[in-house]
Amino acid sequence: DAGVTQSPTHLIKTRGQQVTLRCSPKSGHDTVSWYQQALGQGPQFIFQYYEEEERQRGNFPDRFSGHQFPNYSSELNVNALLLGDSALYLCASSSPWTSGTYEQYFGPGTRLTVT
Amino acid sequence: KNEVEQSPQNLTAQEGEFITINCSYSVGISALHWLQQHPGGGIVSLFMLSSGKKKHGRLIATINIQEKHSSLHITASHPRDSAVYICAVWDYQLIWGAGTKLIIKP
């Protein structure tokens, strides 16, 4: 079992550009949550996808959008990048609604640097 | 007031000491997680609790649902235990505590 995988591991972008980050959940999990962790701070919840729909959303602007595919993998898209978007983006998978499993498995994260 | 509060924020101890990190929460939860984050970012889930006590190696986690309080204990601490330990509660999303930065000196 590969666990949760994320790609790419590191990314450097310029202000105003757009970026897409990818996450594959642990086998058997159907729910993907995305978190942003700025340097020295705790993770902040961005949104959660289940059954290809955004189920919950944190306090993030519409520049942050996502998608979930039929195979449960997910993408996080950020448009019009700002310097403040520089952070570690974490993906977590779980299966709370179908199996009642609240166990969270985290990917290694994608380190995004906006210059 | 934060929904999940941890204490202490920072903890430095000598190798071998018994470590306790505390977590209090104010929301109704389905489960509480203890997570470990090493420098470089990777987060590892240590425990998920909804009641009682769990033990894994030198790590012990307890939860008191009535008091809305959980503790993470490390016995015979070792420098490799140095990390940030985070308490997070699950209410269909993770609500995170601020973390406890633990440094174990040899």
Residue A7 scores a pLDDT above 70: yes
Contact A49, A74 (CB under 8 A): yes
For the ranges A29-38, A70-79, B2-11, B24-33, the one whose mean pLDDT is highest: A70-79
Instruction: Name which of B89, B103, B100 is nearest B31 in CA terms.
Output: B89
More confident residue, A20 or B94: A20
Residue of B nearest to A57 (CA): B93
Could you tell me the pLDDT band of residue A98, with boundaries at 50, 70 and 90?
low
Mean pLDDT for the stretch of residues A77-100: 89
Query: Which ranges of chain B have pLDDT less than 50?
Result: none
Place of tokens 């406890």: B100
Contact A68, A13 (CB under 8 A): no
Edge-to-edge order in the sheet of strand A5-7: A5-7, A19-24, A74-78, A64-68
Report CB contact under 8 Å: A42, B33: no
Mean pLDDT for the stretch of residues A95-110: 78
Interface test with B, best of A41, A102, A105 (most B CBs within 10 A): A102
Residue B98 amino acid letter:
A
Place of tokens 């290809």: A52
Residue from the list A42, A45, A108 with its beta carbon closest to the beta carbon of B93: A45
Residue B70: predicted pLDDT: 97
